Structure 1
Amino acid sequence: MKNLKLDAIRAAYERGENITELLREEGADSNSIEAIEIAYDLQSGTYINGLLKDKRNFEERAAEIGEILALHVSYLDTFLDCGAGELTTLSGISHYLPMNTKMLAFDLSISRLNTGLRFASRAMRYDLFGGLEAFSASMDHIPLNDNSIDVIFTNHSLEPNYGRELHILKELLRVSRKKLLLFEPSFEDNSEEGQSRMKKLGYVRNLPKWIREAGGVIVDKFPLRCVSNRLNPTYCYVVEKEDRGLSFKLSEICFRCPISHAELKDRGSYLWSRDGALAYPKINNISLLRSKDAILMFHE
Structure 2
Amino acid sequence: MNDLKHQYENNVNIMGYFRQINNINSNSLASILYSYDLQAGSYRKDYYNKTLYYMHQNGKKIIISSKKFHGQYGSKIADIFNKLKYSSILEVGVGEATTLNDVVKNLNNKSAEIKGIDISFSRIGYGNMFLKEQGIDNVSLGVADMFKLPFEDNSFDIVYTSHCIEPNTDRAKEAINELYRVTNKWLILIEPAFDLGNEETRKHMIENAYCKDLINFINDMKLNVIQHKLFELGTYNNQAAITIIEKESKDQSSANWCCPTCKKELIESDENYFCKECSLIFPIIKGIPCLNINSAILGSKYLLL
TM-score by length of 1: 0.89
Distance 2:232 2:263 in 1: 40
Look up the SS of the partner of 2:277 in the other structure: coil
Superposed, which structure 2 residues align to 1:204-283 within 5 Å? 204-214=211-221, 216-228=223-235, 230-241=236-247, 244-246=248-250, 251-283=253-285
Whether 1:69 and 2:81 are equivalent positions in the alignment is: yes
Q: Which amino acid aligns with 1:140?
A: F
Aligned to 1:185: 192
Q: Of residues 128, 145, 159 in structure 2, which corresponds to 1:117?
A: 128
Give how far 1:209 is off: 1.9
Aligned to 2:140: 133
Unaligned runs of 5+ in 2: 50-64
Residues 166 and 210, structure 2, Cα contact 8 Å, conserved in 1: yes
Q: 1:183 to 1:143 in 2, by over 3 A?
A: same
Worse-matched range after superposition: 63-72 or 102-111: 63-72
Residues 166 and 213, structure 1, Cα contact 8 Å, conserved in 2: no
Distance 1:85 1:79 in 2: 16
Residues 262 and 276, structure 1, Cα contact 8 Å, conserved in 2: no
Residues 200 and 238, structure 2, Cα contact 8 Å, conserved in 1: no
Superposed, which structure 2 residues align to 1:2-81 within 5 Å? 6-24=1-19, 26-53=22-49, 54=65, 55-74=67-86, 77-81=87-91
Distance 2:92 2:207 in 1: 24
Unaligned runs of 5+ in 1: 1-5
Q: Which amino acid aligns with 1:246?
A: K
Distance 2:46 2:250 in 1: 41
Q: Which amino acid aligns with 2:170?
A: G
Q: Of residues 137, 159, 165 in structure 2, which corresponds to 1:152?
A: 159
RMSD: 1.7
Aligned to 1:93: 103
Using the aligned pairs only, state the percent identity: 27
Residues 156 and 182, structure 2, Cα contact 8 Å, conserved in 1: yes
Distance 2:222 2:256 in 1: 23
Give how far 1:145 is off: 0.5
Q: 1:61 to 1:150 in 2, by over 3 A?
A: same
Provide, for residues 19-44 of structure 1, a one-character-per-residue CA deviation record: whole Å limited to 9, x for no partner: 00111263422111111011001111
Provide, for residues 130-178 of structure 1, a one-character-per-residue CA deviation record: whole Å limited to 9, x for no partner: 3x22110011110110111110010001111111001110000111100
Residues 173 and 215, structure 1, Cα contact 8 Å, conserved in 2: no
TM-score by length of 2: 0.88
